Amino acid sequence: MRDPSQVFSFNSWDNVEWDEEQEHAALEGVKKNSSVKMSEEAVARLEEEADQNWDRFYGVHQNRFFKDRHWLFTEFPELAPYKRSTNVPERVLPDGETVSRTEVSSPAEDKQQRRTIFEIGSGVGNTVFPILKYSDEENLMVYASDFSRQAIDIMFQSPEYDTKRCQAFVLDATADRWDVPFEENSIDIVVLIFVLSAIDPERMQHVVNQITRYLKPGGMVMLRDYGRYDLAQLRFKPGKCLKENFYVRGDGTLVYFFTQEDLRTLFTKAGLIEEQNIVDRRLQVNRGKLIKMYRVWVQVKFRKPKDPQ
């Protein structure tokens, strides 16, 4: 967006640049809302009730709260089907128009190649189901895990849940040992969509290390999550901050706001190689109320080396 007079012409604007004044205002906002930290007792109680809070979240929203993430195939084309002759929804333009792309048939051997995808924090399947829907790969297996038993049960009840190509299970990704239905060094792609931010920063490195353990050599982890100074962070009131840039929402769920360097440190320490690390700053507007809302997301891709380094 280069012409400020056109700001309310569309619902959203991509790749918005912030000036020094806006950066400073955001920094001051975070200083203010993190000035009062939660007590150790309150933090301990949140940790004890984490599973109940997430079960309650999905129990309230069920699957009405979520929409299929068709943008996945644009931001993460590695998730797109190897072979399919159909229109795959690609993205929504600022004026609300949906742009689709037709998958071009790949060589027959691509269809036969075994591919494994593992999503951590799958929720009710809004990443998994589009992958299954638009792919006709015979040897595709999508594993889906979530901390919430309620979320997994909702997935099981969906008519889109295909037991031949999908296996969902409950997993606490912060646990010292993972109980998963696959071997180490066996997963092609690990996906985390607004999930790592819900984990205590002190346990994030362990989670990333475990991901690396189960990725096959040459496999990739891809993540999209909340970025520093996102609107959601600036809206917190004092007293909701547990640790630096780590907060509790009104429903008891937790959220951290990343910088690019945060993620670079986590994944490179685990021995992965950076292939993408970007900040997506987007301006969303309410044209009726003339309100501007600045969203900040981070997106990364890291690959496990094929040869020991």
Q: What is the pLDDT of residue 102?
A: 42
DSSP assignment of the chain equals: ---GGGTTSSSEESSPPP-HHHHHHHHHHHHHHTSSBPPHHHHHHHHHTHHHHHHHHHHHHTTTS----TTHHHH-GGGS-SS--SEEEEEE-TTSPEEEEEPPPPPHHHHHS-EEEEEES-TTTTTHHHHHHH---TTEEEEEEES-HHHHHHHHHSTT--TTTEEEEE--TTSSS---SS-TT-EEEEEEES-GGGS-HHHHHHHHHHHHHHEEEEEEEEEEEEBTT-HHHHTPPTT-EEETTEEE-TTS-EEE-B-HHHHHHHHHHTT-EEEEEEEEEEEEEETTTTEEEEEEEEEEEEE--SS--
Q: May I ask the CATH architecture of the domain 39-85+113-224+248-304?
A: 3-Layer(aba) Sandwich (3.40)
Written as tens digits, the pLDDT of the chain (309 aa) is 455 545 444 445 455 676 777 778 778 888 888 887 877 777 777 777 666 655 666 555 555 544 556 678 889 999 987 654 455 554 443 334 444 444 434 434 455 678 999 999 998 898 999 999 888 888 899 999 999 898 999 999 999 999 999 999 999 999 999 999 999 999 999 999 999 999 999 999 999 999 999 999 999 999 999 999 998 998 999 999 999 999 998 888 899 999 999 999 999 999 999 999 999 888 755 545 455 678 899 999 999 999 655
Q: What is the pLDDT of residue 67?
A: 56
Dihedral through CA 192, CA 194, CA 197, CA 199, nearest 10?
Answer: -60
Q: Number of C-alpha atoms within 13 angstroms, CB side, residue 166?
A: 23
Q: What is the pLDDT of residue 51?
A: 62
Q: What is the pLDDT of residue 189?
A: 98
Query: Comparing C-alpha atoms, which of 122, 116, 274 is closest to residue 198?
Result: 122
Q: What is the pLDDT of residue 308?
A: 59
- Block residue for tokens 């301006």: 283
Q: What is the pLDDT of residue 40?
A: 73
Q: What is the pLDDT of residue 94?
A: 37
Q: What is the pLDDT of residue 121?
A: 94
Q: What is the pLDDT of residue 141?
A: 96
> Whole-prediction pTM value?
0.81
Q: Please tell me the distance from the alpha carbon of residue 104 to that of residue 83, in angstroms, as a whole number.
A: 7
Contact 66, 127 (CB under 8 A): no
Instruction: Report the alpha-carbon angle 15-16-19, nearest 5.
Output: 140
Q: What is the pLDDT of residue 38?
A: 77
* Domain regions of the chain by residue span: 39-85+113-224+248-304
Strand arrangement, sheet containing 246-248: 241-243, 246-248, 254-256
